[in-house]
Each structure stands twice: as C-alpha cells, then as structure tokens.
C-alpha cells in the first residue's frame, strides 16, 4: 500500500458509518488531513489538548477518551501535554493528568485567559477533540439545538490566538473547527460552529479521529501505540467519574450510543492498514 492509499483508507474508515453526515464533509476536505495533523504533532513537544462536551450536567465520553489516548501517546514519545477542559471534567482528571481548567465565563475573559495560558505553556500545537464551537450568533449549542453556553467553558480563543498549528476533530458540525466547512455544515440538521482551525479531521465518533492520528505516530516511531490504547478501560475510568454517553445520556461504557467494541474495531482496522504499509 502506498502512503496516499493509506491516507485514503484511514479517512474512509473513520467515516464509514456516516452517522451524522461526516462522509459529506470528508469529501470537501483536502485529502491527507489525518496524516498532516499527525505530522504536526509528531514534531511537537508541547501540546494542548482541549476536550469535554457538557451533557446532562456532566461530560460525555466522546472526546475525553480520544484526548486521553492522544495525551498518553504523545507523552510516550517524549512530549509534554495538557488537557484543557471545564468543570466537572477538569476536576475529575486532575489527579492523573496535567490539566488546565477553562474558567472564563465570558468571551472577553476567555481571550484574556487564553493569552495568559498560551504565554505560560508556549505550545507547539493545539488540538481540540469534541469541544463545543462558537456558533455564528456567539452561543454554543448541542446536537439537539439546546443552548449550552453557560455550561461548556470557552476554548475557541486558544485556537484563534495561537501562533502554532491548530488541529480540530469533530463528528457532527457543532464542534470547534467546523467553521472550515461552514457551507456544508449549513446543509446538516445542526446549529454549526463558526470557529476554524488549521487542520480539520472528521470521524463518526471524535475519539476515533484521535486513533487515526495515533496510527501514524506509531508507524513513524516504530511503536505500536494503538496497541497501548484500551478504550474500554478509559471508558470505565471516566464512568467512575460521572461521564455519560452523549446520545443516551446514561452512565454506560459507550460512546455516542455505540458499544466500546466499535472503537476497538476501528483500532484493529487501523493497525491492519498500518501493517499493510509496513
């Protein structure tokens, strides 16, 4: 398999189920976006990873699973990472990960917070995985069209003010980064995000987009980083800390209504694609 063929296969795999129209979005993106995002991160030593989508007074499983997997993979390669998230997720992760809490409640305060944090951490790259993105009217909305502005925290200014590459992963259209494809998102049944990024990745479940990046990182480093990911264990870790499935809103070991086996299958298929290239 050639590298171009791998890019095509990885990108197709990540939207194969086409649960929320991401196959249409994929067609509008410049091919090779997963590889390009991975290349940026492979050469980065300090990385901010924003995640956490508010659901039912807590946080959903999609986003944090992929963020934790990417955090661990980059740190295994010698990087230093921060998980950037709002309450209650930041509190639940603080004992086990390097965490930066999203505290600002207004756009002006969020811009000041981002300016200060960016100066303190000097990241080489910023990643957003399933983070609510600001809509054109300035508010934040979930997949049901409900205004969640008061609960979501504000991460958009971190990408907007960054002087480093910015990467975003989404699966529905209301996440940070979807402003890159606003015309297409406008055709979907969702209030889309207007926030843009340098490299947008789409997947049927945002966690899986992180797995796509990790596949390349593992190949280039000669390590089976995908083999170190245990989605079911991460889901159990988050569940014990109050997570819910974003679709069912229940505290289950699922992501967007799908059993953990679905994510495990994506990892296995990515490993198979990498093996073909090797």
Contacts of 64 (CB under 8 A, 6+ apart): 51, 52, 85, 89, 93, 234, 238, 243
- With a cut of 80, say whether residue 278 has pLDDT above it: no
CA atoms 146, 173, 154, 54: torsion sign: positive
Q: Of 1 and 214, which is predicted with more confidence?
A: 214
| CA gap 26, 269 in Å, rounded | 19
- Is pLDDT above 80 for 15? yes
For 32, counting Cβ atoms within 10 Å of its Cβ (0-12 exposed, 13-18 middle, 19+ buried), the class is middle
Q: What is the pLDDT of residue 242?
A: 98
Domain spans, the chain? 3-277
Residue 177 predicted with pLDDT over 80: yes
pTM score of the predicted model: 0.98
Closest CA to 15 of 39, 37, 31, 36: 31
pLDDT of 1 > 80? The answer is: no
pLDDT computed for residue 3 by the predictor: 85
The arithmetic mean of pLDDT across residues 39-57, rounded, is 97
Residues 112-137: tens digit of each pLDDT: 999 999 999 999 999 999 999 999 99
Reported as a single tens digit per residue, the pLDDT across 50-78 is: 999 999 999 999 999 999 999 999 999 99
Q: Which CATH number fits domain 3-277: 3.90.1640.20, 3.40.50.2300, 3.30.43.10, 3.40.640.10?
A: 3.90.1640.20
- Return the pLDDT at 228: 96
């Amino acid at each position: 398999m050639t590298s171009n063929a791998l890019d095509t296969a990885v990108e197709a795999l990540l939207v194969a189920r086409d649960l929320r129209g991401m196959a249409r979005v994929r067609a509008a993106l410049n091919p090779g976006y997963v590889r390009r995002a991975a290349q940026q991160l492979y050469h980065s030593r300090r990385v901010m990873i924003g995640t956490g989508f508010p659901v039912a007074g807590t946080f959903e499983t999609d986003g944090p699973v992929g963020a934790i997997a990417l955090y661990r993979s980059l740190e295994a390669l010698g990087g230093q990472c921060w998980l950037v998230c709002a309450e209650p997720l930041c509190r639940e992760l603080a004992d086990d990960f390097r965490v930066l809490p999203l505290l600002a409640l207004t756009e002006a305060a969020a811009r000041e917070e981002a300016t200060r944090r960016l100066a303190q951490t000097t990241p080489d790259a910023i990643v957003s995985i399933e983070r609510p993105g600001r809509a054109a009217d300035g508010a934040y909305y979930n997949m049901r069209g409900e205004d969640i502005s008061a609960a979501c925290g504000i991460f958009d200014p971190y990408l907007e003010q960054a002087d480093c590459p910015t990467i975003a992963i989404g699966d529905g259209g209301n996440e940070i980064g979807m402003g890159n494809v606003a015309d297409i998102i406008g055709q979907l049944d969702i209030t889309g995000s207007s926030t843009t990024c340098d490299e947008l990745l789409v997947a049927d479940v945002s966690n899986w987009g992180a797995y796509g990046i990790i596949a390349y990182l593992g190949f280039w480093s000669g390590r089976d980083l995908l083999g170190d990911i245990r989605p079911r264990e991460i889901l159990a870790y988050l569940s014990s800390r109050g997570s819910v499935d974003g679709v069912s809103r229940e505290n289950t070991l699922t992501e967007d209504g799908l059993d953990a086996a679905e994510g495990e299958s994506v990892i296995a298929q990515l490993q198979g694609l990498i093996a073909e290239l090797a």
